[in-house]
Amino acid sequence: MESIQAIKQRFGIIGNDQKLNRAIEKAIQVSPTDISVLVTGESGVGKESIPKIIHQLSHRKHGKYIAVNCGAIPEGTIDSELFGHEKGAFTGATATRSGYFEVADEGTIFLDEVGELPLTTQVRLLRVLENGEFIKVGSSKVQKTNVRIVAATNVNMFEAIKKEKFREDLYYRLSTVDINLPPLRDRKEDIHLLFRKFASDFALKYKMPTVKLTDDAVVLLLKYRWNGNIRQLRNVAEQVSVLEQNRTINGVTLQNYLPNNNNNLPAVVNNSKSESDFSSEREILYKVLFDMKSDLNDLKKLTMELMKKGSDTDVQKENEHLIQKIYGEEKDEEFEAAVEDLEVLSIPEHTHTDRSEETISSFEDKYDFAEEIEEEETLSLHDKELELIKKSLERHSGKRKLAAAELGISERTLYRKIKQFDL
Ligand SMILES: Nc1ncnc2c1ncn2[C@@H]1O[C@H](COP(=O)(O)OP(=O)(O)OP(=O)(O)O)[C@@H](O)[C@H]1O
Ligand SMILES: [Mg+2]
Model confidence pLDDT, tens digit, residues 305-346 = 777 776 666 777 777 766 666 665 444 444 344 344 333 333
Residue 112, strand partner residues: 69
Q: How far is the CA of 121 from the centre of ligand 1 (A)?
A: 27
Q: What is the DSSP string of 354-393?
A: HHHHHHHHT--S--TTEESS-------HHHHHHHHHHHHH
Give the pairing of strands 370-371 and 65-69.
antiparallel
Kindly indicate the confidence band of residue 189, based on its pLDDT and cuts at 50, 70 and 90: very high
Q: Which long-range contacts link 362-365 to residues 24+ away (Cβ below 8 Å)?
A: 362/92, 363/77, 363/80, 363/90, 363/92, 363/93, 365/95, 365/97
Question: Among 49, 187, 192, 374, which residue has the most ligand 1 atoms within 8 Å of its CB, making it the best to mutate?
Answer: 49
- Whether the per-residue pLDDT at 379 is higher than 70: the answer is no
In the chain, pLDDT over 90 holds for what percent of residues? 59
Report CA(113)–ligand 2 centroid distance (Å). Answer: 7
Per-residue pLDDT at 281:
53
Distance CA(87)–CA(89), nearest Å, equals 6
Nearest to 220, CA basis, from 259, 185, 251 = 251
pLDDT at 356 over 50: no
| Whether the Cβ atoms of residue 58 and residue 1 lie closer than 8 Å to each other | no
Would you say 251 and 216 are in contact if contact means Cβ atoms under 8 Å apart? Answer: yes
Identify the sign of the CA torsion 185, 191, 194, 195: positive
Displacement of CA 298 from its chain's centroid (Å): 29
> Is 155 touching ligand 1 by the criterion CB < 6 Å?
no
Q: Above 60 in pLDDT, residue 373?
A: no
Whole-angstrom Cα distance, residue 117 to residue 149? 14
CA of residue 42 to ligand 2 center, whole Å: 9
Q: Is 15 in the pocket of ligand 1 (CB under 6 A)?
A: yes
Nearest-5° angle of CA 241, CA 246, CA 250?
A: 85
As a whole number of angstroms, the distance between CA 165 and CA 24 comes to 30
Quote the DSSP letter at residue 401: H
pLDDT given at position 86: 95
Q: String of b and e for 300-315 (b: at least 16 CB within 10 Å)?
A: eebeebeeeeeeeeeb
Ligand 1: centre distance to CA 227 (Å): 13
What HEC string does 89-148 produce?
CCCCCCCCECCHHHHCCCCEEEEECHHHCCHHHHHHHHHHHHHCEEECECCCCEEECCCE
Ligand 1, atom nearest to 279 Cα: 26
> In this predicted model, what pLDDT tens digit does every residue of 231-253 receive, in sequence order?
999 999 999 999 999 999 999 99
Please work out whether the CB of residue 154 comes within 6 Å of at least one atom of ligand 1. yes
Q: pLDDT band at residue 298, thresholds of 50, 70 and 90?
A: confident
Question: What Å distances lie between residue 240 and 144, 162, 189, 246, 391, CA to CA?
Answer: 52, 42, 21, 10, 17
C-beta of 259 in contact with ligand 1 (< 6 A) = no
Q: How far apart are CA 340 and CA 176, in angstroms?
A: 39
What's the chain's average pLDDT?
81
Note the pLDDT of residue 404.
80
pTM above 0.85, yes or no: no
pLDDT above 50: residue 421: yes
Residue 375: pLDDT band (50, 70, 90) is very low
H or E stretch including 39?
strand 37-40
Q: How many CB atoms lie within 10 A of CB 366?
A: 9
Give the C-alpha separation, 217 to 421, whole Å: 21
pLDDT in tens, 69-125: 999 999 989 999 999 999 999 988 999 999 999 999 999 999 999 999 999 999 999
Q: What is the pLDDT of residues 210-221, one digit of tens each?
A: 999 999 999 999
CA distance 254 to 144: 55
Cα-only R_g, the chain: 24
Neighbouring-strand partners of residue 85: 97, 137
Say how far apart CA 135 and CA 141 lie, in whole Å: 6
Sign of CA dihedral 258, 260, 261, 263: negative
Q: Which residues make Cβ contacts (< 8 Å) with residue 379, sequence separation at least 6? A: 235, 238, 239, 281, 387
Confidence band for 391, pLDDT divided at 50, 70 and 90: confident
pLDDT reported for residue 381: 59
Report how far ligand 2's centroid is from the alpha carbon of 360 (Å).
26
Residue nearest to atom 18 of ligand 1 (CA): 46
Residue to mutate (ligand 1; options 155, 230, 236, 277; most atoms within 8 A of CB): 230
Stretch 358-384: mean pLDDT: 46
β-pair type (212-213, 177-180) = unpaired
Task: Work out whether the CA dihedral 251, 184, 338, 298 comes out positive or negative.
Answer: positive
Q: In a 3-state reduction of DSSP, which class is residue 235? A: helix
pLDDT tens per residue, range 151-180? 999 999 999 999 999 999 999 999 999 999
Among candidates 159, 82, 90, which has minimal Cα distance to 118? 82
| Rounded CA separation 79/121 (Å) | 6
